[in-house]
Amino acid sequence: MTKWTPTHEAPEPLEGPVVPTIVGGTVLWFVLFLAQLPFYGWFDEHGHTWWVWTCLAGGGLGLIGIWYVRGRDAALKRAARDAD
């Protein structure tokens, strides 16, 4: 097992625009949900209604994600401000 163990240090995590990324993804899930609603009958006839509900679930989970990353971002900014 030791021959597969890395011998170098792990890189620092990448920090980027996390909040806008999560907001954009959440908006995309809700847009996909709304775009599929007019075709609900077709989805129902072909047994693909799970596509519609997956988009709604993605939007709902995205709302939780927005709440989480906004709180994380605020905590990081507070910690940086307190460190100064």
Looking at the domain assignment, is residue 11 inside a domain?
Answer: no
Looking at the domain assignment, is residue 46 inside a domain?
Answer: yes
Reported as a single tens digit per residue, the pLDDT across 22-76 is: 999 999 999 999 999 999 999 999 999 999 999 999 999 999 999 999 999 999 9
Rounded CA gap, 78 and 81, in Å?
5
Rounded CA gap, 79 and 34, in Å?
39
Looking at the domain assignment, is residue 40 inside a domain?
Answer: yes
Whole-number pLDDT of residue 30: 98
Looking at the domain assignment, is residue 3 inside a domain?
Answer: no
The structural domain count of the chain equals: 1
Whole-number pLDDT of residue 61: 98
Whole-number pLDDT of residue 70: 96
Angle 3-4-9 (CA atoms, 0-180°, nearest 5)? 105
Looking at the domain assignment, is residue 68 inside a domain?
Answer: yes
Reported as a single tens digit per residue, the pLDDT across 22-33 is: 999 999 999 999
**Domain of residue 78, residue span:** 17-83
pTM of the model: 0.78
